Amino acid sequence: MSAAPAITARGLRRYFADGQVRALDGVDIDVPAGASVAITGASGSGKTTLLYALAGLLGLDAGRVDIAGTRPHSPADWAALRRDRIGLVFQDAWLLPALTARQNVEIAIQGPRLSVAARRARAEALLRRVNAEGFAARRPAQLSGGERQRVAVARGLANRPEILLADEPTGELDHANSQHIADLLFDLRRSEGLTLLIVTHEGALARRCALQFVMHDGRGGFEARGAAR
């Protein structure tokens, strides 16, 4: 694990309903590069809001986020970070229904120097990496929940990110598929050297992470655990 933090966030605050709902209420977090972190907590504690804030998907009322020493200031800065350094996996996959599995991965592969053929080859390689090559030509509606989630993981890796943020990646899956996706994420973390943040309410998945960041009523902190795996 590198000593330089992959993510540093300070004083993250996000209120909803005119301040009645404090989804984030002054959260500080430092995520070491290459670490695996489970963000846990009860429903409504602010787990997903924190993840979205760290990905720049959320407008904050206060606070700042640095990604590998870079501080994004504008939506364009955040878009560039998500394009180059941050991969995202959502709970219900959020694949684009008009596109096939391969095209859903391809759409996240960006870079002006990449030819159409190169993009396609990379998308196919990513689908192979997550054992999804067999349904590359199918649309999301023709895939099971586990298959969709594998495609979503491949899409999250499209631009060789340093950080992968996953929001309840196994939340909608049965035990076997859940286990499979979890294995895949940790395998990728090891092989790609990713920093992995997973929002989860599943104890088993949380325990596989080196660090656990527990959210409670919009506030959070690391729980003392064993060494990072």
Partner 1 sequence: MTVLLAGLRNLAYWQPRNLGALLGITIAIASLVALVGLARGVQETLLSALENRGTDVMVTEAGVLDLISSIVPETLAPDLAVAPGVVAVAPELARLTTLADGRSVAVVAWPAGSFPWESLTLTEGRLPGADEGPGSGEGHVVVLGESLARRMQAGIGDRITLFHAPFEVVGLVTSPALLSRSAAYARLEDVQALTFREGQATSFNIQTAPGRAEAAAKAIGARFPDLSVETSAALADGYLFGRIANILAFAISSVALVSSVLVIFNTMSTAVNARRGEIAILSAVGWDRWRIVAMLLIEGSVISMIAGAAGIVAGTLMAQAVAGLPQVVGFVQPVIGAGLLATAFAVSVGVGLLGAFVPAVRAVRRPPADILRGH
Q: Which residues bind partner 1 (CB under 8 A)?
A: 16, 48-49, 52, 55, 57-59, 75-76, 79-84, 88, 90, 94-99, 103, 106-110, 116, 119, 155, 158-159
Residues 6+ apart with CB under 8 A from 4: 32, 33, 68, 69
Supply the minimum distance, in Å, between the C-beta of residue 76 and partner 1.
6
Residue closer to partner 1 (CB basis): 211 or 218: 218
CB of 3 to partner 1, least distance (A): 27
- The two tokens of residue 59 are 């407008």
Q: How far is the CB of 48 from partner 1 (least distance, A)?
A: 7
Contact between 6 and 34 (Cβ < 8 Å): yes
Closer residue to partner 1 (CB): 82 or 180: 82
| Distances from the Cα of 169 to the Cα of 9, 72, 182, 219, angstroms | 23, 26, 8, 22
3-state helix, strand, coil in the chain (%, to 5): 35, 25, 40
Instruction: Considering the complex, state which of residue 99 and residue 121 has its C-beta at the smaller distance from partner 1.
Output: 99
Q: Given the complex with partner 1, which of 122 and 208 has the nearer CB atom?
A: 122
Q: How many CB atoms lie within 10 A of CB 128?
A: 13
Closest distance to partner 1 from the beta carbon of 107 (Å): 5
Sorted by sequence, the CB contacts under 8 Å of residue 85 that are 6+ apart come out as: 67, 68, 159, 161, 162, 163
To the nearest whole angstrom, how small is the minimum distance from the Cβ of residue 80 to partner 1? 7
**3-state secondary structure at position 65:** strand
Q: Would you say 18 and 30 are in contact if contact means Cβ atoms under 8 Å apart?
A: no
* Closest CB to partner 1 among residues 75, 203: 75
Q: Indicate the residue among 147 and 167 with the shorter CB distance to partner 1.
A: 167
Report how far residue 136's alpha carbon sits from residue 103's, in angstroms, rounded to the nearest whole number.
8
Q: Please, what is the minimum distance in Å from the beta carbon of residue 52 to partner 1?
A: 4
Q: Which is nearer to partner 1, 1 or 57 (CB)?
A: 57
What gap in Å lies between CA 103 and CA 98, rounded to an integer?
9
Q: How far is the CB of 208 from partner 1 (least distance, A)?
A: 25
